[in-house]
Amino acid sequence: MASFVRFTLDGRECLAEEGAQLVAAAKECGVFIPTLCNCPGIPPKGACRICTVLVNGMPHTACTTRVVEDMAVVTRTPELEAFRKSVVEILFAEGNHLCPSCERSGNCELQALAYRYRVTVPHFPYLFPKRDVEAWHPKLVKDHNRCIQCKRCIRGIRNDKGQAIFAFGKRGDKVVINIDPETSKDISDELAQQAMDICPVGAILRKGKGFDTPIGRRTYDRAPIGSEAAP
C-alpha cells in the first residue's frame, strides 16, 4: 500500500499518496487546477504552463510536480489567476479559433476555460496565421487552425506496434503537429477516436464523427469545467 504524505493546499492541510501528481492530488482534495496539455494516463509535459502554482513559494507546473511531505502549495493568487487567463487569451489570439463553427464546441477544454476565466475582449494582438486543414488521411482530419500544440496526441497515441503517429515539426511560432503517413496508415476506428478524444480542442477530428453528440448535450454544455472538483 502506498504511503500518504501531508501537504498544504492553499493553507489547508491535505493528504495525498506520496509521489502523486499534484494536479490529481489537488482534485482529490476538491481543488481544481486548470490544465490543457495535461491528460491523465500520459506523461506530463508542462508545455501550456496554465497549471502553474506556487510550490514552497516558487512557480512550478502542477502537472509535472509530484507531491512530497510538507510541500506548501498555493494554487490561487491574483497573479496566477491573471496569468491563467492570459494563457487562454494568448491561445485564442495565436491560432484561428472560431467556436460557433467548430465541431468540438461544448467539448472543448480551451473554450470551457475561456468561459471560466470570462474571456471577453482581446488583450493580445490576433495573429490570424495562415494554417492548413489536412484531410488526406482516410480517417482523420487535422485542422491546424485550432491546434494549441499541447502534444497530447504526440504523447498519448501510438499504433499497435507502439510507434508514434504524431510528432512536432519546425519550431517557435511555426511549430506544427505532423501525422506520419506510414505509422498512421492502418489505424483502427478505435484509435482514430482516441486521437480525436485526446485532443483538448477541435484540431483532430474523426472523419464523419464531428457531430455525433449534438451541440447542447456536450460535456461543458452540461456543467462548466472545474465544477467536478468543487468541494
Shortest distance in whole angstroms from residue 230 CB to another protein:
25
| Interface with another protein (CB under 8 A), residue from 27, 49, 137, 144 | 49
- CA distances in angstroms from 202 to 9, 69, 104, 128, 178, listed in the order given: 33, 39, 5, 17, 16
* Residue (41 or 125) nearer to another protein, CB: 125
Is residue 107 part of the contact set for another protein (CB under 8 A)? no
Is residue 109 part of the contact set for another protein (CB under 8 A)? no
By CB under 8 A, the residues from 118 to 147 that bind another protein are 123-125, 127
From residue 157 to residue 186, what is the string marking binding to another protein with x (rule CB under 8 A)?
Answer: ------xxxxxxxxxxxxx--xxxxxx---
Q: Are 10 and 81 in contact (CB under 8 A)?
A: no
* Residue (52 or 106) nearer to another protein, CB: 52
* Residue (66 or 209) nearer to another protein, CB: 66
Strands (E), the chain: 4-9, 12-17, 52-55, 58-61, 72-74, 133-134, 140-143, 166-169, 176-179, 204-206
Stretch that binds another protein, among 9-17, 91-99, 190-198, 202-210 (CB under 8 A): 91-99
* Residue (9 or 48) nearer to another protein, CB: 48
DSSP letter (8 states) at residue 158: B
Q: Are 96 and 70 in contact (CB under 8 A)?
A: no
Angle 82-87-93 (CA atoms, 0-180°, nearest 5)? 120
Shortest distance in whole angstroms from residue 164 CB to another protein:
5
HEC assignment per residue over 171-206: CHHHCEEEECCCCCCCCCHHHHHHHHHHCCCCCEEE
Interface residues with another protein (CB under 8 A) are 45-50, 52, 59, 61, 64, 79, 82-83, 86-87, 90-91, 93-94, 123-125, 127, 148-149, 163-175, 178-183
